[in-house]
Amino acid sequence: MILHLINRAPQHPAVYQALAESFSKGDHVLLIEDACYAALPGRQDVLAPFAGAVSALEEDLVSRGLRKRVGDSLEVVDMAGFVSLTELYSRSLSWF
Amino acid sequence: MTSRSPDTHRPLSYALLVHGAPYGHQAALSALRFARALAQRGHRVATVFFYHDGVHNASTLMSPPQDELSLQAGWRELHAQQGSALLVCVAAGLRRGLLDEAEAARHGKPAANVEPPFELTGLGQLVDAMFSHDRLLTFAP
């Protein structure tokens, strides 16, 4: 089981596609930095392959003014939650 | 949900691989912020390895405005608080003008800008960190 960190905005679909090809059941995806734009309700198409296994980092949502626009459509974790994910998943891959 | 609590919580050692230059990208800030959060959960950043443009984080000459975050000070504080090794890829550093006194003398340069606790090292140290630490996370631009 792998924790995938992605920091690219959804305007870079090739990165999401590469991640989807590597993604296995039981893996988890954390949206950080500009990947938080993929958490917007209208941009979540790139997240379809990871349904139910995606979180977005709260601090990066807030710094981009996106926090209230995400609503309950996606799990949001804070930095402590990010750390917890790395406790649960012993391996991580960064996509950029 | 804001955090998960695994059934077994034991202190873990982490290696962070930083590819991003300071200020131009968020990578270095993300890594530093994550390192600080680790300490709050009882874990430790044992090694930070600066690679590619990430080596610029090691420049002792960085002089950001006093009312802005100093990444250089942040890394030094991390070393002081957690004993984190701050390793800088020597090959990436030399290319970009990041030299300690020994390298500056060797290459006939007039100044050095890498000082302890930052250390110029080889990629072997990164491989060692990958095998000897519990976790490795990469922060890239």
Binned average pLDDT, 10 residues per bin, chain B of 141 residues: 56 97 95 96 97 98 94 97 97 98 98 98 95 97 96
User: Quick check: A2 and A92 in contact, CB under 8 A?
Assistant: yes
**Residue B6 domain flag:** no
CATH of the domain at B43: 3.40.1260.10
pLDDT for B1 equals 45
Q: State which residue of chain B sits closest to A3, comparing Cα positions.
A: B137
Catalytic residue check, B88 = no
Calculate the alpha carbon distances from B6 to A83, A84, B136 in Å.
Answer: 11, 7, 19
Please give the full DSSP string across chain B, using - where no structure is assigned. Answer: ------SS----EEEEEE-SPTTTSSHHHHHHHHHHHHHHTT-EEEEEEE-GGGGGGG-TT----TTS--HHHHHHHHHHHH--EEEEEHHHHHHTT---HHHHHHTT-S-----TTEEEE-HHHHHHHHHHSSEEEEE--
Please pick, among B89, B98, B99, B126, the residue that the annotation labels catalytic: B89
Domains: count for chain B: 1
A53 lies in which domain range? Answer: 2-95
B31 lies in which domain range? Answer: 13-60+71-139
Mean pLDDT, chain A, rounded, equals: 96
CATH of the domain at A11: 3.40.1260.10
Whether residue A58 lies within 8 A of chain B, CB to CB, comes out as yes
pLDDT for B7 equals 47
Looking at the complex, report in whole angstroms how far the Cα of residue A56 sits from the nearest Cα belonging to chain B: 11
- How does pLDDT run across A47-82, given as a tens digit for each residue? 999 999 999 999 999 999 999 999 787 999 999 999
> How big is the CA angle at B26 (ends A11 and B48), to the nearest 5 degrees?
130
Looking at the complex, report in whole angstroms how far the Cα of residue B42 sits from the nearest Cα belonging to chain A: 10
**Residue B65 domain flag:** no
pLDDT for B55 equals 98
**Residue B101 domain flag:** yes
**Residue B4 domain flag:** no
Whether residue A30 lies within 8 A of chain B, CB to CB, comes out as no
Strands A2-6 and A91-95: parallel
Chain-chain contact of B14 with A87 (C-beta, under 8 angstroms) = no
Whether residue A36 lies within 8 A of chain B, CB to CB, comes out as no
Domains: count for chain A: 1
**Residue B42 domain flag:** yes
Whether residue B5 lies within 8 A of chain A, CB to CB, comes out as yes
Counting Cα atoms < 13 Å in the Cβ hemisphere of A7 gives 17
pLDDT for B8 equals 57
Whether residue B39 lies within 8 A of chain A, CB to CB, comes out as no
User: Quick check: B42 and B9 in contact, CB under 8 A?
Assistant: yes
Contact list in A for residue B38 (CB cut-off 8 A) is 83
**Residue B124 domain flag:** yes
**Residue B1 domain flag:** no
Work out the percent of chain A whose per-residue pLDDT is above 70.
100
Chain-chain contact of B137 with A7 (C-beta, under 8 angstroms) = no
Instruction: Using alpha carbons, select from A3, A4, A59 the residue that is nearest to residue B36.
Output: A59
pLDDT for A79 equals 97
